[in-house]
Every structure is written in structure tokens, then in C-alpha cells.
């Protein structure tokens, strides 16, 4: 799913629920300033003082030059020179303070947003993540958030300054002569209105630009993650061309954005030049008529220039607003995405929870428009039992696991643990009750020790080693260059499939949950690895309620019961011996798999 297709949040219907409308990205960006009110106030105050000092210094300078040219007493100007020096210094100080405060404010908010995004991803995982490309998501988390720096550090404060300062400069100009203001106003209105003419186009281009940037990112991440396959299949050229195609689209959007921003800039410059020319002509006319002293001629030009300056600075920033709001929309699309599964209770059911898992007439579909992935599925795993799920690819085995882990809620029927519906457990409790050994364990870019410790972060080194010994991982870990301190590297590439599974088993052993969910790897292992893995799995299963997606004959045989799934339905249940005797679907499946 691309971002274009991310559910439009307003009034959307999802399985009968209407989600409330959301305020626009702009108001949400402003709302984030609430908790940094004082910092924002200080930024604006220093920005206004900075501009006021700049005007004061230039006006003083202009007045001094005007007075000196008309041959007045130069001695009398000395105090004004001191004042000019003080104003220049104060301006420099305020310029620094404004920058510092604006960036402090922006980076604080950006850190808040990144934290909120991470929490949102955690809340939405894994259902939402399955639908988004990881590179595109990474782009949202990093570069879209980075774009917001523009808004907080360079837009909000600049906007207030661009309103307050020109008003002050216009008042000062009006005290010199009303005609000066009148001569400048049409051009000022023109400058302010130019970004409005291009508003829609800027928003459209901004969205396209951020979307394409996300796609290029996704493409690059994809290619980097799949580099081994790309090289092995000699497909470097093909992927290079895909990336180049995305890049060409991105460049087209960037050119459109740059062209429009350039046109806006050129029109703004033209309007400012026109305004300055009008003021120049009006001031010259007033001086010639004797309505304005010559000493005030440079002053009126300087005041006119300062009326335009903050507005022009703002229009330069508004040229990027389309991209900033598009980035904000992408960020808020993640922050506001409704979680498919939410805690309905604050505390788990009271009393001891028996690890007895039951699927009661469960039907489930992944989306309102999709067919059922499970249809009236019922089976149970009694406390301490092992049940193996078998079936062809797409039969619904993983879906059963997803529902037990409550990654999704059932569409009809229920899954219970100890007789309690999963919806009556807070998700945190559920995660504690169940340990998962996935088919392809993700090894984080940290030491093997810390990778195992993810099972129970509070575990000491000895406990980690004990779990590894039980999982028969200790021996090969000790042979690694730095033993348990060896970095597992990105995706743990230096470990074999069987070794990685044993790390996953050690992780689960350390977690020590009463319920175990295993998705057995399909890959073939050598006999030694196979035996080691089997022993490790048997140790892990012992005394736990285990639901396993089984591929190995040894696992299937040793299960207390086998549930055979076909097209989302349970077609057979029984022990290996019973099902073999029956000679039905299970026997066919096994014959096909193991011949």
C-alpha cells in the first residue's frame, strides 16, 4: 500500500465503525506547540526585537547620513553614533538568540514526534507494517519528521515577525507621510497574495514529492536488504534501472516544485522592486514639494525595505509549505492510524490463568473486502500439550498464530486462554503469557548475549548462558570470535539457519512463558543440526502449552494432536497414528511432503 492509499481518515468506515474526522495537518502542527508555549513566545520576542533593532540601526544610519549630507553639526551626531553601535550589538545578540531558541524548540518537538511515531508503530505492529514498505516508513520516521524542523524553526516565528514588523514599519512610514504608505500598499498586497495563488499547486506538488521520496527510499532499502539475492541472480542492472526510474519520477517532481518556487520567487521580487520604485518616486516627489525633509529621504526608503523584508522572508518559506504539510500529513497518517487491536481492559482476569488455549468457531478475514482466511475453526491445546498445525501453504496456519498472539482480533468466534477471551487480557499480559519462536528470527545489531536477553531484559549473564546451553546454542556461540559478545550483525548473516533458530529457542527459554508458539523453519538442516534443534525444541516444549506450525516429521510425530487445515478450515484432527490409519488429507499431505 502506498501512502496515497493509506486509509483516508475522515469518516472512514472499517467493519461498521466510523472513525472521527481529524483536524488538518496545519492545526495539528500548531497544537504540538502547546507544551512549548514559553519557548515559542521567547523565540517570537527575540525575532521581533532582532528585526526592530535592525530597523532602528538602519534608520539611525540613514538619518545620520541624511543629516551629515545636509551639513548639520556633526558633533551633535556623536551620541546617535553610540546609540547606533549599541543597536547593532543588540541586534546581533537577538539574531543569535532567535536562531538558538527556534532550533531548540524545533528539535525538542522533533524528538517528541519521533518518540510518538515509534510508539505508534509499536501500537500498530504488525498489521499496519505489513501494508507499508519498510523504506517508506523509515522515510516517514526520519526525513518527513526532519522536514517539520522547517515549520517550527523557520515558519511559525517568522510568520508572527512578518506580521508585527511590517505593521510597525508602516506606522513609522505613515508618521513621515501618508503618501509613502499608499504608494507601497498595492505592492505589499501583491507580495502577500502570490503564495495564495500557488497554494493548491504547491500542496499537490508537495504531496507528490514526499510520496516519491518515500518510494525511492523504499526501493533503496529493498535493494540493500535483498542485495545477496540481487547479486546471486545477477539482477544488479534490473534493480539499478528500477531505482533510476523512481529517481527520474522524483526528479520530475523536484523540477516541478523548483520551477513553481522559482516562479513565485521571481514574481515576489518583481512586486518588491515595483513597491520600492513607487516609494522612491513618492519620497522624491514629497522632497521636491518640500513636504518631506531631505534627511528623511533615505529613512523612508529604509523603512519601505523593512516593510517588505520579513514578508519576503515569509513568502520564501511558504514556497516550501506544500512539502512541509505533505510531510506532516505522512507523519500524522502513522500517528493517527487506528490500531486494529486495542486494550479493552486495564487488568488481566483475576485468579490463576490456566494455559489452556481454545479456538471457538473462529472465522477471520484480513480486511472487509477480503475472503475469510479462517472459517469456523475450532481446536484446543490443553495445558502442557503440544498441538501441531499442518496444511498446505495458505491453509491458515500463520493466521491461527496471529490470532493467538492477538495481532488481529477474530471476525467471529473467539480465542480463549484458561477460558478467558483474549480481549479480556491487556496486550502486555498476553505477551508475557506467550513466547514466540518465529521461522526467521530477527537478530538485532547487538551482541548475541543481548539478542538472547531480549527474552527477559532483566536476566543476568549466567541466566543467558544457561538458556543458551539448554537450547544447545552455547557451544557454537563460544566458538564465535568474541563468544557471547560477538555482534550478531544486521539480520545475523553470519549464523546458519539452525543456529539462529537455537538462538530464538534460547530467547524463548529465557522468557519462560507458559504458552509457546513456534513457526518451524522449512529449510533442510544437516543431521547434526537437525538433532540439536530437535533436542532444543523438546526442552523448550517440556511443560509448556505449545502450538507449532510443524514442517518436520519428528515434530509432527511427537505432537499430542495434529490439526490439519485446508483453505481456512479444520479438515482433520488426531494423533499421527490415528490420522495415518484414516488415510485421509493428512496422510496425503505427509506423503507429498516427505516423498
CB of 137 to ligand ATP, least distance (A): 16
Based on its alpha-carbon atoms, the radius of gyration of the chain, rounded to whole angstroms, reads: 34
Task: Give the nearest distance from C-beta 134 to ligand ATP in angstroms.
Answer: 15
Among 50, 158, 318, 399, binds ligand ATP (CB under 6 A): 399
Residue found by looking up cell 519428528 in the block: 554
Cell of 33: 506547540
The sign of the CA dihedral 538, 543, 549, 555 is positive
Query: Could you give the 3-state DSSP secondary structure of residue 21?
Result: coil
| Interface map 93-132 toward ligand ATP (x if CB under 6 A) | -------------------------------------x--
From candidates 143, 203, 363, 398, binder to ligand ATP by CB under 6 A:
398
Distance CA 425, CA 117 (A): 25
Specify the residue for cell string 490443553.
382
Q: What percent of the chain is helix, strand and coil (3-state, nearest 5)?
A: 65, 10, 25
CA distance 374 to 397: 9
Q: What is the DSSP string of 278-304?
A: HHHHHHHHHHHHTSS-GGGHHHHHHHH
Site membership for ligand ATP, residue 394 (CB under 6 A): yes
| Binding residue for ligand ATP, selected from 395, 417, 467, 525, defined by CB under 6 A | 395
Asked if residue 133 binds ligand ATP (CB under 6 A), the reply is no
Q: Are 467 and 461 in contact (CB under 8 A)?
A: no
Contact with ligand ATP (CB under 6 A): which of 39, 373, 405, 548?
373
Instruction: Please select the residue that binds ligand ATP; options are 132, 397, 541, 576, rule is CB under 6 A.
Output: 397
Shortest distance, position 399 Cβ to ligand ATP, whole Å: 3
Give the nearest distance from C-beta 504 to ligand ATP in angstroms: 17
Residue list 374-393, contact with ligand ATP (CB under 6 A): 391, 393
Stretch that binds ligand ATP, among 200-208, 395-403, 480-488, 531-539 (CB under 6 A): 395-403
CA distances from 37 to 41, 209, 512 (A): 6, 31, 47
Helix H or strand E segment including 543 = none
Grid cell locating 446 = 547487538
Residue labelled with grid coordinates 522449512? 522
When the beta carbons of 28 and 392 are compared against ligand ATP, the nearer one is: 392
Site string for ligand ATP, 349-368 (x = CB under 6 A): -----------------x--
Does 396 help bind ligand ATP (rule: CB under 6 A)?
Answer: yes
The smaller minimum CB distance to ligand ATP, of residues 47 and 391, is found at 391
Degrees to nearest 5, angle at CA 428 with 422 and 433: 65
Question: Which residue lies nearer to ligand ATP by CB, 366 or 444?
Answer: 366
Instruction: Tell me how far, at minimum, the Cβ of 389 lies from ligand ATP, in Å.
Output: 8
Residues 6+ apart with CB under 8 A from 240: none
36 or 552, CB closer to ligand ATP?
552
The nearest distance, CB 526 to ligand ATP, in angstroms, is 23
Which residue lies nearer to ligand ATP by CB, 254 or 439?
A: 439
Give the helix/strand (H/E) hosting 361. Answer: strand 357-364
Which of 74, 130 has the CB closer to ligand ATP?
130
49 sits near ligand ATP (criterion: CB under 6 A): no
Provide the 10 A C-beta neighbour count for residue 543.
12
For residue 29, the tally of other CB atoms under 10 A from its CB is 21
Calpha distance 302→176 (Å, rounded): 12
Stretch that binds ligand ATP, among 111-119, 294-302, 394-402, 459-467 (CB under 6 A): 394-402
Residues that bind ligand ATP (CB under 6 A): 130, 366, 370, 373, 391, 393-399
Amino acid at each position: 500500500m502506498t501512502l496515497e492509499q493509506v486509509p483516508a481518515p475522515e469518516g472512514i468506515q472499517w467493519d461498521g465503525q466510523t472513525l472521527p474526522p481529524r483536524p488538518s495537518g496545519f492545526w495539528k502542527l500548531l497544537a504540538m506547540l502547546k507544551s512549548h508555549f514559553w519557548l515559542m513566545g521567547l523565540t517570537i520576542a527575540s525575532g521581533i526585537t532582532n528585526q526592530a533593532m535592525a530597523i532602528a540601526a538602519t534608520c539611525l544610519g540613514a538619518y545620520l547620513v541624511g543629516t551629515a549630507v545636509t551639513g548639520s553639526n556633526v558633533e551633535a551626531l556623536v551620541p546617535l553614533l553610540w546609540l547606533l553601535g549599541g543597536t547593532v550589538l543588540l541586534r546581533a545578540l537577538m539574531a543569535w538568540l532567535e536562531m538558538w531558541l527556534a532550533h531548540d524548540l524545533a528539535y525538542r518537538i522533533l524528538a517528541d514526534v519521533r518518540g510518538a511515531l515509534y510508539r505508534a508503530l509499536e501500537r500498530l505492529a504488525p498489521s499496519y507494517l505489513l501494508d507499508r514498505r519498510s523504506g517508506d516508513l523509515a522515510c516517514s520516521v526520519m526525513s518527513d519528521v526532519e522536514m517539520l524542523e522547517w515549520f517550527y524553526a523557520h515558519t511559525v516565528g517568522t510568520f508572527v515577525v512578518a506580521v508585527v514588523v511590517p505593521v510597525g514599519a508602516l506606522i513609522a512610514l505613515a508618521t513621515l507621510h501618508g503618501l509613502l504608505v499608499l504608494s507601497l500598499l498595492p505592492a505589499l498586497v501583491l507580495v502577500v497574495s502570490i503564495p495564495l495563488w500557488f497554494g493548491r499547486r504547491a500542496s499537490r506538488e508537495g504531496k507528490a514529492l514526499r510520496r516519491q521520496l518515500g518510494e525511492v527510499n523504499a526501493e533503496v532499502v529493498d535493494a540493500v536488504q535483498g542485495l545477496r539475492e540481487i547479486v546471486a541472480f545477477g539482477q544488479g542492472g534490473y534493480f539499478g534501472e528500477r531505482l533510476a526510474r523512481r529517481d527520474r519520477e522524483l526528479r520530475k517532481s523536484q523540477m516541478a516544485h523548483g520551477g513553481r518556487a522559482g516562479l513565485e520567487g521571481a514574481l515576489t521580487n518583481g512586486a518588491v522592486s515595483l513597491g520600492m520604485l513607487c516609494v522612491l518616486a513618492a519620497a522624491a516627489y514629497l522632497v521636491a514639494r518640500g513636504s518631506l525633509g531631505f534627511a528623511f529621504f533615505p529613512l523612508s526608503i529604509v523603512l519601505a525595505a523593512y516593510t517588505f523584508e520579513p514578508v519576503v522572508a515569509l513568502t520564501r518559506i511558504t514556497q516550501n509549505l506544500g512539502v512541509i504539510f505533505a510531510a506532516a500529513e505522512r507523519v500524522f497518517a502513522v500517528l493517527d492510524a487506528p490500531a486494529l487491536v486495542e486494550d479493552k481492559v486495564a487488568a488481566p482476569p483475576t485468579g490463576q490463568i490456566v494455559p489452556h488455549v481454545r479456538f471457538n468457531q473462529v472465522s477471520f478475514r484480513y480486511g472487509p473486502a477480503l475472503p475469510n482466511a479462517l472459517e469456523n475453526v475450532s481446536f484446543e491445546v490443553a495445558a502442557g500439550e503440544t498441538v501441531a498445525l499442518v496444511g498446505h501453504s495458505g491453509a491458515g496456519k500463520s493466521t491461527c498464530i496471529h490470532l493467538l498472539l492477538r495481532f488481529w482480533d477474530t471476525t467471529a468466534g473467539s480465542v480463549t486462554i484458561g477460558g478467558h477471551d483474549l480481549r479480556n487480557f491487556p496486550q502486555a499480559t498476553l505477551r508475557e503469557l506467550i513466547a514466540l519462536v518465529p521461522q526467521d528470527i530477527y537478530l538485532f545489531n547487538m551482541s548475541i548475549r543481548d539478542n538472547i536477553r531480549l527474552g527477559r531484559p532483566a536476566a543476568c549473564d549466567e541466566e543467558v548462558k544457561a538458556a543458551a546451553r539448554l537450547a544447545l546454542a552455547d557451544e557454537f556461540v563460544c566458538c564465535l570470535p568474541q563468544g557471547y559478545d560477538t555482534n550478531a550483525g544486521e539480520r545475523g548473516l553470519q549464523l546458519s539457519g539452525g543456529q539462529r533458530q537455537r538462538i530464538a529457542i534460547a530467547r524463548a527459554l529465557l522468557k519462560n512463558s507458559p504458552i509457546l508458539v513456534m513457526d518451524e523453519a522449512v529449510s533442510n538442516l544437516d543431521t547434526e543440526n537437525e538433532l540439536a534443534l530437535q533436542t532444543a525444541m523438546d526442552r523448550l516444549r517440556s511443560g509448556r502449552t505449545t502450538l507449532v506450525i510443524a514442517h518436520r516429521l519428528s515434530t509432527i510425530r511427537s505432537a499430542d494432536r495434529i490439526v490439519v487445515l485446508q483453505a481456512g478450515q479444520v479438515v482433520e484432527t488426531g494423533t499421527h497414528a490415528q490420522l495415518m490409519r484414516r488415510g485421509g488429507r493428512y496422510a496425503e499431505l505427509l506423503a507429498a511432503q516427505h516423498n
